[in-house]
Structure 1
Amino acid sequence: MRKIIFPIIVLFSLLSIIPVFADNNNLVQNFGFEQGYLDKWNKQAYTTTDGVTEFFIDDTVSHSGSKSACIINYSPNHSRFNQEIKVKGNSYYKLSCWVKTENVGSDYTGANITVEDILSISKHIQGTNDWQYIELYGRTKKNQKSFVLSLALGSYGNVNTGKVWFDDVVVEKIDKVPSNVEVANLYAEDTPTNTDNLPRSKNISFMIPYSILFFVVAILLIVLAKKEILKLKPGYEKAFLGTALLIGLVVRLIYAAKIEGFSVDIGCFKAWSMAASGTNGISTFYTRGMFCDYPPFYILVLALVGWISNLFNLTSNPDAHLIMIKLPAIIADVVTAYLIYKLAVKKFNSTASCILSILYIFNPAVFLNSTLWGQVDSFFTMILLFGLILILEGKLTYATILFTIAVLMKPQGIIFLPVIGYELIIDLIKTKKLKNIGLSALFAAITTAVIVIPFSPGQAPDWIINLYINTAEGYKYASMNAYNLFSLLGANAKPDSETLFILSYYSWGMLFIVLTSLFTGFLYFSNYIKHKQSAQNIAPIAMLVQMTGVFVLSTRMHERYLFPAMAFALLCYIFYKDIGYLLIFGGVSATVFVNTYDVLVRMFLTEYPYIPADDTVLFIGSLVNVIVLLFLCIVSIQTVVRKKTIPLDLK
């Protein structure tokens, strides 16, 4: 009997460990989701608005075992389960899983397995299908230590709807790949640099020589004006300025039609303008299930753009329609340049004032943003500039209206609320009256109501708050291509939930926002305590500090967000005539241009605009911006607290 029992025990023991050996080569943890929760997996989605996508463990559907991971995209989205996989460099890997689909759209990328930050995907499954096996073969690069595995519905630039299940996920190292399969690079590849083969609508290589020429001419103009060699004849100032602004406008209109722009942004703006300008377009805009992460104010602008486009049938002419989409930002470029002249002419002669206006209207970073990319940062900057002018004129309550509009156009407007807040506190200390604070609160509430209420039918009372929260939650990265501190530390495109020393990147970012605002407050109160009623208004410096400080030190920053700092730096120079602010203007103009140019070219070359975290230009640009911020802190303390400047008066 013992002779029989012993072999049976051994046999069952061997059978019991077969699954262990079978999965020993699988690098995926919780590969079958049998634990009943998403341990080791995290959820990612392009759109994080409530009700768009649902992630969960389904214990009623499985390929093996009793559970699977499920994604439901109720509205178009790129959604995925991600897990970091530890790998070896210069090695081959096979990624595979089983997938089941239900009503997945047939026009865009379906269910697939891939790796984050690459364009290659497995065979993707659309429609309604029972369990199917999908796989992707790939190689790692030298010294690569990990990649992020992605079980996705949709892909970059290809959002989709439907329901998908994933099960039995495997990543295994293999010695060689079958001869009949394509091998993907399981890492973010360096973007091709040769733009010669790009179509004319995407080729912006001319901006490199133009930007070099701009900086050379800018320095030359400043030197000639300083030495009083360059002078406009009396009475010719307005004609010269008008000609310069007209040239700036005409060139923009020409290139707005020639260059197609950043496809994702242009596509959104076109869709939003058509939707908002249609019947009941405003009242149903945010409830029709269309992706939109912009607050209401610019949707009103796009509604006007759409209405004009429909009125004159411009949508049938692609070039004309593209110009219309870019037109608000282009107009804002010209208006901002004119405002700079009007402010400068109060402090400088007409020649110097025209030069400062030219430094803005022909600035390559400004031209690139509005005309080539098709973004609206210049429109946002124009609103802030009008608000700043009202502050300088002592009209705080009216300035609050503009600052409220800025917040209702872009969430980044919140960055500047400490400025209006400190202005109101200083006003209270000076006047001992709450009148301006009360009126400002009233005007802000009225402005918000006027802009938000038309979009509110059928919405929950807190819908606008949720819009801001979901917009912020949609980009939960330490940096999104921004030349800032976190990119300098190698954290570009890294989730901001990851830890840096003792805190998460997100916590560090929030801490630095608070410290930036406190530094701005230090400047305000130091200025008032030292000079009392005669204290000079420091709002331009405060705006520049807030913008630069938050961009350089906070998380979730995109490459374009530093844009307003260029105008604020020029205004600081106009009001304080310190060469430091002119140097800051030059530094910021250079980094904003290179940063946005890099991302736009990557988009044109590969349709994938993300900069690798180890990119050399990213590191250098980030280092420059950190130095610019430190220099700004020194110059602002010298200007405001110590009342010392290094003057550069262009007369």
Structure 2
Amino acid sequence: MHKHRELTNEQFENMGFLVLITVLAMLCRFLLFPFESGDYHQFLQGWYAALKDNGGFAAVGMNIGDYMPTYLYLLAGFTYFPVSGLVAIKLVSSLADIALAYYVMKTVRLKFEDPLYGVMAYAVALFLPSVVLNSAVWGQCDAIFTAALVACVYYFMVDKEYQAVAAYAIAFIFKLQAVFLAPFLLLLLIKRRVKISTFLIIPFVYLLAVLPAMFLGRSMKELLTVYFSQAGQYKMIAMFLPNLYTWLPEDTPEYISAAAVMFAGALTVTALFYLYKKKFVFTDELFVTMALFFALFLPFILPHMHERYFYLADILAVIFAFYFPKMLYVPVVTVLSSTYAVCHNLFNTDFFSVQLLAVIMLFILIQVARHAVRLIDLQSGQVPG
């Protein structure tokens, strides 16, 4: 009886801390809401105004913005409340931060019997600089698709492949950047950890997501080609993300960009083939490491990457640190690099060479790759424990 009371008290204390840290995180964000980014003035403000002026949900049938209509559904819901567009846009993203932190907590809890570690992970995720800046300052919605991708990894770790693929599908109907984790899913497929038929969930969820906008008047052709339209929108080969292309000039010819995409594809196929030939069993540690590797790898080798595209890697690196505390430098460097890139966009921060930062991120990528290989070799006895 006494033991049960102690457990209940511990749960109550943890819940109290979660509520307190959530309230503090939201208050912190509310204080930052007045900041108006360039993206808000150039895109988001106009999108929200168009939704509000044309009947809220009724307006999602219009060709507003270049995002999937799923994001517009969320914004349209807030047009019925007495809040400004700036607050509504940032509130959507800030609420998604909570969902993101929740799945970070659940993933970390798989590692530890003591729930305290999960609670700590929740707090870290909510106050991560790149997370706070993304939602409360920039007004971006990367927390939505990233929360779904972390949920995807979590559900694979607990052997729930349908929920995992459904979570991936939800990420995909919000942002094309969900493809950063696509090689991870492909690896699970070729390793027979997920059935190919399960991936039918993705087009099914996509169709469900666009149907409301179609019924309200938007062209199905437009809805099915949103991501193709986005792909050719930005011409700069590197948009201050510290990756492989930061050494190239802004006016790099398009044929070099096309070659860079082919190069990235070849590297990804090579990595997948190497992992396919290796004999190993997916453990929780390997799930976390592989997911982080691809979240770093794809943005690093692809051209036309935006400043915030290491956002997913930031979150997975936090989880990685709880699984491998001796590699704490991985999230520290990744988050600092990502935050610096974001601050460059928001505040014109420019005191460190992005080329040098790219070299540092390459080092982090190599370290994570080596760690993954070591985990695999440990299973086969090729590396002493």
2:357 is matched with which residue? 621
CA–CA distance in 2 between the matches of 1:365 and 1:282?
Answer: 32
* TM-score, normalised with respect to structure 1: 0.52
Q: Per-residue deviation at 1:515?
A: 1.4
2:260 is matched with which residue? 508
CA–CA distance in 2 between the matches of 1:354 and 1:564?
Answer: 20
Amino acid aligned to 1:313: P
Of residues 340, 345, 359 in structure 1, which corresponds to 2:104?
340
More contact order relative to length (CA 8 Å, sep ≥ 6): 2
Structure 1, gaps ≥5 residues long: 1-232, 316-320, 430-435, 499-503, 604-610
Report the secondary structure of 2:271's partner residue. helix
* TM-score, normalised with respect to structure 2: 0.85
2:93 is matched with which residue? 329
1:395 is matched with which residue? 160
Q: Evaluate the alpha carbon distance shift between residue 365 and residue 460 of structure 1 in structure 2; reply closer, same or farther with a 3 A threshold.
A: closer
Of residues 433, 451, 454 in structure 1, which corresponds to 2:212?
454
More strand by share: 1
CA–CA distance in 2 between the matches of 1:455 and 1:593?
Answer: 35
- Are the counterparts in 1 of residues 103 and 154 from structure 2 also a CA contact under 8 Å? no
2:4 is matched with which residue? none
2:347 is matched with which residue? 601
2:254 is matched with which residue? 497
- The 5-angstrom pairing of residues 279-428 of structure 1 reads 279=55, 281-282=58-59, 284-286=61-63, 290=64, 292-306=65-79, 311-315=80-84, 321-348=85-112, 349-427=114-192
Of 370-379 and 551-560, the range deviating more from structure 2: 370-379
Amino acid aligned to 1:285: M
Q: Please state if 1:255 is matched with 2:255.
A: no
- Are the counterparts in 1 of residues 144 and 174 from structure 2 also a CA contact under 8 Å? no
The Cα offsets for residues 530-568 of structure 1, whole Å up to 9 and x where unpaired, read as 44xxx4253332322222111111101010011111111
Q: Evaluate the alpha carbon distance shift between residue 284 and residue 312 of structure 1 in structure 2; reply closer, same or farther with a 3 A threshold.
A: closer
- Are the counterparts in 2 of residues 249 and 334 from structure 1 also a CA contact under 8 Å? no
Of residues 282, 289, 302 in structure 2, which corresponds to 1:541?
289
Q: Evaluate the alpha carbon distance shift between residue 598 and residue 461 of structure 1 in structure 2; reply closer, same or farther with a 3 A threshold.
A: closer
CA–CA distance in 2 between the matches of 1:351 and 1:467?
Answer: 42
Report the RMSD for the aligned CA atoms in angstroms.
Answer: 2.9
Count of aligned pairs: 369
Q: Per-residue deviation at 1:276?
A: 3.9
CA–CA distance in 1 between the matches of 2:27 and 2:40?
Answer: 23
Q: Evaluate the alpha carbon distance shift between residue 374 and residue 524 of structure 1 in structure 2; reply closer, same or farther with a 3 A threshold.
A: farther
CA–CA distance in 1 between the matches of 2:315 and 2:352?
Answer: 28
Of residues 312, 326, 350 in structure 2, which corresponds to 1:579?
326
1:463 is matched with which residue? 222
- Are the counterparts in 2 of residues 361 and 367 from structure 1 also a CA contact under 8 Å? yes
Q: Per-residue deviation at 1:460?
A: 5.6
1:198 is matched with which residue? none
Q: Evaluate the alpha carbon distance shift between residue 253 and residue 513 of structure 1 in structure 2; reply closer, same or farther with a 3 A threshold.
A: farther
CA–CA distance in 2 between the matches of 1:470 and 1:508?
Answer: 19
Q: Please state if 1:474 is matched with 2:243.
A: no
- Are the counterparts in 2 of residues 523 and 640 from structure 1 also a CA contact under 8 Å? no
- Are the counterparts in 2 of residues 248 and 362 from structure 1 also a CA contact under 8 Å? yes
Q: Per-residue deviation at 1:461?
A: 5.0
CA–CA distance in 2 between the matches of 1:490 and 1:378?
Answer: 30
More helix by share: 2
Report the secondary structure of 1:394's partner residue. coil
Q: Evaluate the alpha carbon distance shift between residue 490 and residue 254 of structure 1 in structure 2; reply closer, same or farther with a 3 A threshold.
A: same
Amino acid aligned to 1:383: A
Q: Evaluate the alpha carbon distance shift between residue 520 and residue 642 of structure 1 in structure 2; reply closer, same or farther with a 3 A threshold.
A: farther
